[in-house]
Structure 1
Amino acid sequence: MSCSILKNIKSDFFILIITCFIGGVGYTQNDETVRIIKLDEAIQLGIQNNNQIKLANSDVVIANENLSQTKIAKTPILGLNMGYNYIGNPKIYDGFYEKSIDVDYFNHQASASFLASMPLYYGGVINNQIDKQKLIVSMQESVVKMTETEIKQTITSQFFTLEKLYKQIEVTKQNIINTELRIKQLKSRVENGQNLKSDLLRTELQQSNFEVSVFRSTNSIELISNYLDILTGLPTNTKLKPVLDGILIPKTDSSLDESLSEAYQNRYEIKRSEINVKIAESSLDITKSGFKPNINANLLLNTQYPAQWPNYTTNTLNYWGAGVSLNWDVSSFYNIKHRINSDQEQINKSNIALEATKDVINQDVKSAFVRFAESVKNISTFKKDVDLALSNYKIVKSRYDNDFAVISDIVDAELQLNEAKISLNNANIDSIIQYYFLQYAMGKL
Structure 2
Amino acid sequence: MNKRLIASIGVLSFFMYISAQERVLSIDELFQLADQNSKSIQLHALAIDESAQAVKVAKDARLPSIRAQVDLNYIGDGCMTDRDFSNGIHADMPHFGNTFVLKASQVIYAGGSIHANIQKAKLQHQLSQQTYDNNQQDLRFMLLGYYLDLFQLRNQQTVYEKNIEQTRLLVKDMRAAYQQGTALKSDITRYELQLQNLQLGLTSTVNRLNVLNHKLTTTIGLEPSVHIVPDSTALFHINVDKRQEIS
Partner of 2:170: 182
**Structure showing greater Rg:** 1
Q: Distance in 1 between matches of 2:73 and 2:231?
A: 80
Question: Who is 2:52 aligned against?
Answer: 64
1:131 paired to 2:95: no
Corresponding residue to 2:101 among 110, 113, 116: 113
Q: Matches of 1:444 and 1:110 in 2, distance apart?
A: 62
- Partners of 2:138 and 2:111 in 1: CA distance: 42
**1:151 touches 1:231 (CA, 8 Å); kept in 2?**
no
Which ranges in structure 1 are unaligned for 5 or more consecutive residues? 1-25, 249-435
Cα distance change of structure 1 residues 243 and 151 upon mapping to structure 2, 3 Å threshold: same
Deviation at 1:169, TM superposition (A): 1.3
Show the counterpart of 1:83: 71
CA contact (8 A) 1:222 1:237 kept: no
Counterpart for residue 22 of structure 2: 34
Residue in 1 aligned with 2:132? 144
Q: Which amino acid aligns with 2:70?
A: M
CA distance in 2, matches of 1:86, 1:47: 60
State whether structure 2 residue 241 is matched by structure 1 residue 241: no
Q: CA RMSD for the aligned pairs?
A: 3.5
Task: Provide the aligned length of Structure 1 versus Structure 2.
Answer: 227
8 Å CA contact retained: 1:34, 1:241: yes
Candidates 189, 192, 210, aligned match of 2:198: 210
Query: Which residue does the alignment assign to 1:172?
Result: 160
User: How big is the shift at 1:243?
Assistant: 3.2
| Inter-partner Cα distance in structure 2 for 1:247 and 1:108 | 80
Q: How far, CA to CA, are the matches of 1:119 and 1:148 in structure 2?
A: 41
2:44 is the counterpart of 1:53: no
Q: Which runs of 5+ in 2 are unaligned?
A: 1-13
Native 8 Å contact 2:48 2:128 kept in 1: yes
Given that residues 26 and 234 in structure 2 are in contact (C-alpha distance below 8 angstroms), is that contact kept between their aligned partners in structure 1? no
1:313 is aligned to none
Instruction: Give the distance between the partners of 1:240 and 1:109, measured in 2 at CA.
Output: 74
> Normalising by structure 1, what TM-score?
0.44
Change (3 A) 1:83 1:184: closer
* 1:245 alignment partner AA: T
Deviation for aligned residue 1:171:
1.9
Contact 1:88 1:107 in 2 (8 A): yes
Instruction: Provide the rounded CA distance (Å) in 2 between the counterparts of 1:223 and 1:67.
Output: 44
Tell me the secondary structure at the aligned position of residue 96 of structure 1.
Answer: coil
The code of the aligned residue for 2:46 comes to S
Change (3 A) 1:176 1:136: same
How many Å separate the matches in 2 of 1:57 and 1:83? 44
TM-score of the superposed pair, with normalisation by structure 2: 0.74
- 1:100 Cα offset (Å): 3.2
Measured against aligned partners, the alpha-carbon deviations of 1:287-312 in whole angstroms (never above 9, x if no partner) come to xxxxxxxxxxxxxxxxxxxxxxxxxx
Partner Cα distance (1:36, 1:95) in 2: 97
